[in-house]
């Protein structure tokens, strides 16, 4: 049996640590009808967020509906399960607690649309909702606005150590009870035929099986114990029926199968006794220094400490090792600006789940919060050198250069911070890079800018990058002088014209520019048709030996055909083909001779 589930708290009073957070959660639950915001429990893994939510449901008498990270949480599934539960009341008018676990991990195909569905549920729910997250900033700002945010911090080593000691003591007592139960079972099951009609013996066997089912055996042994428990329970019910005078209804085949199960289990008791001895021996090898090391390596994660303890007592060799754990970017910021050892932030950066491309933005955002004066200037100078290596990495695709950038932005900035003449702000409140938020807010505007730059690049035969960086400012000035001409030349729509003019889409000047551009385009088309007819007439005068019919299609085999007519050459077919091709090419050149022909 998993020790985490076996010793999961049943009430809030049993939850270890975070007393302040638990009081806030209880207060939120008591005020639920008046305060309909969802409770967002956030903090690192293993701090008791999910256990606190389950314990709260038990304390309040609420039914629990849980969707965790192992479930598919698409928009349809969340709406169908949690959405319907948030609107419908139970028959007994009891509240339902909707628990959405690890809400910051809604990503990928299996969770598509889940974040939007959760936001809608929180806004419209009629039942209490609790969300849990490991990273507060992994939850959308829109969803955070509808939540009461309750932080859960790492479990103190004293509390985690006391919890492991309690589990150790309970497991030792359980192993001792299991030894006694196995000895009693070996005596009673030696002759299974003698106990099938003895209600007291059957009750004693069922009582002996109970402590065995609670030990941490492998799956096969637990399954055999479960089968024997079912057989004993069935035999007890058959005996009760026989005592009530319904013995004829008892099937002999069922009795025979149950006896066979008990006989087979008797032969398994030796293996079971050996397994209990191994568990008892492993528990005896545990000592206080081992528990202290397990708790220290867990770094405030009680669930990891319990799992490590279970692995320790279940392994053949009792060893403890440090657990690989992703560090928070906030802890890295504190180390970069406050540690006196330059190696510490570098080592800590290896455990942060961020690339150097992202870490440079974290440090750039928080430098002004932590440093001032000459130290701030020196730190930015070091950070600029790190950015040079990042640029070379992107250009050369040589990611081995990342280590130089990483050392500069961590250890280098740390050294610059310690040479600061003004003391560093050790109480600074660090924040994620606002650059990502600004990019999200300006995404539509940047898409519009790139669309205009693409049209300029196509008209002027340059790259889109050059058009965006060099030519776009000139077009903005030109559009203010002649909006209709630029609109007609580039075929702009209302949004693109409003972008170039820095005006609203429904502004009068934008509407007038679009209207005038349509007039210019129609006039230009009429002028093109007239000039094409004049050139064709002049060509016929210069080459009277050609008779040209209307051209509708030019095939790849150097012949011009149409549905009604074809080019007839007077001297040879090749001369007629070249003449017709020149007519088509001249009409294409006349379409737009200059992209700024209207504005010139």
Distance CA 322, CA 348 (A): 14
> What mean pLDDT comes out for the span 264-289?
74
Count, residues in the chain: 600
Give residue 263's pLDDT: 60
- Please give the average per-residue pLDDT across 188-214, as a whole number: 67
Between 476 and 254, the higher pLDDT residue: 476
- Contact (CB, 8 A) for 104 and 67: no
Task: Report yes or no: 131 and 147 within 8 Å, Cβ to Cβ.
Answer: yes
Quick one: pLDDT band at residue 411, thresholds 50, 70, 90? very high
Strands 147-151 and 63-67: unpaired
- Per-residue pLDDT, averaged over 541-555, amounts to 50
What is the SS3 assignment for 64?
strand
Model pLDDT, residue 249: 43
- Of all residues in the chain, what percent carry a pLDDT higher than 70? 63
Mean pLDDT of 325-340: 83
Residue 412: predicted pLDDT: 92
Environment class of residue 252 by beta-carbon count within 10 Å: exposed (0-12), middle (13-18) or buried (19+)?
exposed
- pLDDT (0 to 100) of residue 178: 75
Residue 564 reports pLDDT greater than 50: no
Confidence of residue 352 (pLDDT cuts 50, 70, 90): confident
The H or E element spanning position 261 is: helix 252-285
- Span of 59-73, 195-209, 440-454 with lowest mean pLDDT: 195-209
87-119 pLDDT per residue, tens: 555 545 568 888 888 887 765 444 455 677 788
Per-residue pLDDT at 401 exceeds 50:
yes
Query: 180 or 248, which is more confident?
Result: 180
pLDDT in tens, 169-191: 888 888 787 777 777 777 766 66
Give the pLDDT score at 22.
93
DSSP-assigned letter for residue 411: I
Strand partners, 67: 100
So what's the pLDDT on residue 40?
A: 92
What integer pLDDT is reported at residue 574 of this predicted model?
47
- Of residues 85 and 488, more confidently modeled: 488
Residue 325, pLDDT score: 62
User: Among all chains, which residue has been given the structure tokens 């196995």?
Assistant: 182
Q: Using CA atoms, how far apart are residues 537 and 424, in angstroms rounded to an integer?
A: 85
Cα–Cα distance between 355 and 353 in angstroms, integer? 7
Q: Is residue 59 within 8 Å of 12, Cβ to Cβ? A: yes
Q: Among 117-126, 293-302, 545-554, name the one with the lowest average pLDDT.
A: 545-554
Calpha distance 401→292 (Å, rounded):
40
Instruction: Examine the pLDDT at 328 and tell me if it is beyond 70.
Output: yes
pLDDT of residue 113: 53
Q: Do residues 487 and 511 make contact, with C-beta atoms less than 8 angstroms apart?
A: no
Eight-state DSSP code of residue 189: T
Higher pLDDT, 359 or 591: 359
Does residue 590 carry a pLDDT above 50? Answer: no
Which H or E run includes 131? strand 129-133
Q: Which residues are within 8 A (CB) of 350 and not within 5 positions of it... i.e. 6 or more apart?
A: none
DSSP string, 93-106: ---EEEEE--GGG-
Q: Which of the four pLDDT bands, split at 50, 70 and 90, describes residue 558?
A: very low
What is the CA 354 to chain-centroid distance, rounded? 14
- On whether the CB atoms of residues 83 and 118 are closer than 8 A, the answer is no
Q: Is a pLDDT exceeding 90 seen at residue 56?
A: yes
Token digits of residue 520: 């210019």
Facing residues of 133 across strands? 42
Predicted local distance difference test score (pLDDT) of residue 238: 66
Check residue 24 and give its pLDDT.
Answer: 93
Whole-angstrom distance, CA of residue 250 vs CA of residue 234: 11
pLDDT tens-digit map of 509-540: 888 989 988 888 888 777 666 666 666 666 65
Report the run of H or E that residue 147 belongs to, with start and end.
strand 147-151
Averaged pLDDT score across all residues of the chain: 75
The token pair that represents 449 in the structure block = 């800018």
pLDDT number for residue 552: 44
Q: How many CA atoms lie within 13 A of 573 on its CB side?
A: 6
- Rounded CA separation 333/331 (Å): 5
Say which residue, 283 or 588, is predicted with more confidence: 283
- 121, 86 Cβ separation under 8 angstroms: yes
Half-sphere exposure of 232 (CA within 13 A, CB side): 27
Mean pLDDT for 458-473 is: 90
Higher pLDDT, 251 or 15: 15
Which of 483, 485, 455, 487 is CA-nearest to residue 468? 455
- Determine the average pLDDT of the residues in 43-58: 90
Q: What is the pLDDT, as a whole number, of residue 284?
A: 80
Cα distance between residue 182 and residue 193, in whole Å: 19
Q: Which of 467-481, 512-526, 574-588 has the highest mean pLDDT?
A: 467-481
Predicted local confidence at residue 173, as pLDDT: 85
pLDDT band at 51 (very low <50, low <70, confident <90, very high): very high
Structure confidence at residue 37 as a pLDDT band (50, 70, 90):
confident
pLDDT at position 533, please?
64
504 falls in which pLDDT band (50, 70, 90)?
confident
Confidence at 27, pLDDT banded by 50, 70, 90: very high
DSSP β-ladder status, 96-100 and 63-67: parallel
Max CA pair span of the chain: 127
Q: Say what the pLDDT of residue 597 is.
A: 43
In three-state form (DSSP H/G/I as H, E/B as E, the rest C), the secondary structure along 515-572 is HHHHHHHHHHHHHHHHHHHHHHHHHHHHCCCCECCCCCEECCCCCEECCCCECECCCC
């Amino acid at each position: 049996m998993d020790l985490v589930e076996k010793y999961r708290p049943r009430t809030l009073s049993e939850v270890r640590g975070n007393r302040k957070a638990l009081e806030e959660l209880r207060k939120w639950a008591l005020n639920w009808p008046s305060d309909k915001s969802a409770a967002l429990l956030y903090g690192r893994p293993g701090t008791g967020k999910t256990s606190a939510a389950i314990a709260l449901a038990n304390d309040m008498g609420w039914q629990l509906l849980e969707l965790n990270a192992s479930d598919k949480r698409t928009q349809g599934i969340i709406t169908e399960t949690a959405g319907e539960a948030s609107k419908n009341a139970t028959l007994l008018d009891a509240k339902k607690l909707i628990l959405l676990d690890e809400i910051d991990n809604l990503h990928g195909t299996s969770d598509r649309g889940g974040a939007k569905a959760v936001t809608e549920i929180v806004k419209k729910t009629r039942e209490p909702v609790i969300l849990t997250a490991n990273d507060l900033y992994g939850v959308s700002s829109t969803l955070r606005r509808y939540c009461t945010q309750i932080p859960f911090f790492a479990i103190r080593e004293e509390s985690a150590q006391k919890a492991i000691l309690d589990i150790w003591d309970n497991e030792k007592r359980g192993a001792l009870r299991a030894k006694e139960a196995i000895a009693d079972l070996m005596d009673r099951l030696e002759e299974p035929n003698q106990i099938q009609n003895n209600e007291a013996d059957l009750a004693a066997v069922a009582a002996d099986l109970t402590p065995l089912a609670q030990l941490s055996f492998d799956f096969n042994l637990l399954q055999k114990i479960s089968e024997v428990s079912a057989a004993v329970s069935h035999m007890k019910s058959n005996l009760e029926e026989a005592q009530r005078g319904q013995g004829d209804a008892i099937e002999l085949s069922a009795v025979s199968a149950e006896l066979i199960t008990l006989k087979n289990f008797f032969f398994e008791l030796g293996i079971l006794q050996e397994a209990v001895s191994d568990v008892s021996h492993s528990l005896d090898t545990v000592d206080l220094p081992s528990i202290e090391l397990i708790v220290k390596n867990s770094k405030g994660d009680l669930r990891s400490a319990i799992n490590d303890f279970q692995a320790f007592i279940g392994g053949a060799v009792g060893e403890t090792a440090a657990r690989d754990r992703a560090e928070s970017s906030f802890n890295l910021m504190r180390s970069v600006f406050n540690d006196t050892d330059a190696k510490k932030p570098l080592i800590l950066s290896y455990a942060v789940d961020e690339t150097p491309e992202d870490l440079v933005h974290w440090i750039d955002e928080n430098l002004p919060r932590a440093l001032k004066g000459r130290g701030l200037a020196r730190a930015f100078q070091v950070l600029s050198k790190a950015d040079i290596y990042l640029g070379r990495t992107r250009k050369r695709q040589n990611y081995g250069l990342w280590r130089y950038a990483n050392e500069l932005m961590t250890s280098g900035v740390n050294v610059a911070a310690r040479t600061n003449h003004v003391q560093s702000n050790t109480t600074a409140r660090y924040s994620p890079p606002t650059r990502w938020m600004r990019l999200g807010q300006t995404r539509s505007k940047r898409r519009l800018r790139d669309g205009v730059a693409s049209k300029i690049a196509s008209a002027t035969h340059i790259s889109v990058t050059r058009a965006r960086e060099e030519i776009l400012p000139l077009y903005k000035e030109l559009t203010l002088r002649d909006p209709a001409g630029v609109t007609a030349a580039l075929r702009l729509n209302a949004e693109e014209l409003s972008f170039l003019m820095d005006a609203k889409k429904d502004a009068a000047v934008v509407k007038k520019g679009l209207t005038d551009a349509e007039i210019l385009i129609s006039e230009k088309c009429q002028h093109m048709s007239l000039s094409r007819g004049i050139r064709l007439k002049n060509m016929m005068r210069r080459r009277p030996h050609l008779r040209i019919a209307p051209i509708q299609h030019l095939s790849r085999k150097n012949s011009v055909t149409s549905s009604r007519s074809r080019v007839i050459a007077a001297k040879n077919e090749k001369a007629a083909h070249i003449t017709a091709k020149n007519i088509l090419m001249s009409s294409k050149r006349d379409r737009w001779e200059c992209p700024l022909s209207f504005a010139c």
